[in-house]
Amino acid sequence: MTNSTPLALFVGVSGYELTADEIAYLREANPYGLFLFRRNLDHSDQARRLCAEFRDVVGRPDAPVFVDQEGGRVQRLDNGNWPSFRSMGSFGALAKRDLALAKRALRLSTQAMGALMTELTIDSGTTPVVDLARSGTHDVIGQRAFGDDPERVVTLAREVIDGMLEVGALPIMKHIPGYGRVTVDPHFDCPVVDAGLDDLRATDFQPFVALKDCPWAMVAHLVFTQIDPDRAASVSPAVYELIRKDIGYDGVLITDCLSMEALQGTPAERVAAALAAGCDIALLTQGGLEASISAADGARPLTGQTLERITRASRKRGNLRVDVTALHAEVEGIFRESGLA
């Protein structure tokens, strides 16, 4: 029997349309949301059909569909059928020359990217990245971030958060409480950060504190030895307590993808650990249908508190309509004139 309350889980699917086995799984398990990748995105009509098919199968017309669409090297709508958007690092570079111009260009780019997703019936591009990118930060962050200055990062990330909401898309800031000190890629290894809490509060945590009104946030996979030396942030009760109480964040918390090698255990064990630690929703999208079935075994239905946070987030979404092509062209013109094209 299908769960009446959705599981606190996002999953992935294999291709441009649902297979019979995926339909059976989604109907039975009822995961809250779907996360898309390049393997799922061919052209606009196909993307809309896939989103509609997922929502029809789970029986929820408002079931959320997310994708990684930050701009730069992390944008899944990149096969030539959609505009190519600039990285956050490029706006950070422009901001060093002219902050006001960078804010304007970023707001326009964000509105265009958000509007593109709403046209495709995708709810979020899981952006902005508000990690502080230092000289020694691993390239897994790199140009995905605005830079190393907390104040500038907050100023620019605010443009993304507000711009996304204006056009009806959900901003998701990541990766709380901060990937800025990682020196290894969490896709393949578990980063370890030894910095003290006072240092972290003065630097890496600052953007998340300043932007704590962002309706969703994605939790990082790394060990902060001064908070919890034994568990990665995404499965650590101590880190979730810090996020909720110290940082003061009361929006929806979703994990980064739990299939990353930074974590150990079966999909079910990883999902169960994240939810037990204090996360609202687990995200596990790799490993095929077998992994999704296991993930569902470790998940629980959305709690009442999580549903309240989701509702509160949804109320912030606007309905501004913009011309995606025109805004994108204007942004490209700004970069050409600035000499940073």
pLDDT of residue 275: 98
φ, ψ dihedrals at 307, nearest 5°: -60, -35
pLDDT of residue 211: 98
**Using N-to-C axis directions, what is the helix angle for 88-97 and 99-119, rounded to 10°?**
160
187 assigned to active site: yes
Q: How far apart are the first and last CA of the chain?
A: 55
Task: Tell me if 39 sits within 8 A of 68, measured CB to CB.
Answer: no
Dihedral-angle region of residue 244 (phi above 0 means left; psi in -120 to 50 means alpha; beta otherwise): alpha
- Topology of the domain comprising 7-338: TIM Barrel (3.20.20)
Instruction: State the catalytic residue, choosing from 42, 56, 187, 250.
Output: 187
Sign of the torsion formed by the C-alpha atoms of 179, 41, 60 and 289 = negative
Domain range annotation of the chain: 7-338
Instruction: State the catalytic residue, choosing from 68, 131, 204, 256.
Output: 256
pLDDT average per 10 residues of sequence, the chain (341 residues): 82 98 98 98 98 98 98 96 97 97 98 98 98 83 93 98 98 94 80 93 96 97 95 96 98 95 92 98 96 98 98 98 98 94 75
175 assigned to active site: no
Q: What does 57-97 look like in DSSP terms, one character per residue? A: HHT-TT--EEE-EEETTEES--SSSSPPPPPHHHHHHHHHH
pLDDT of residue 1: 39
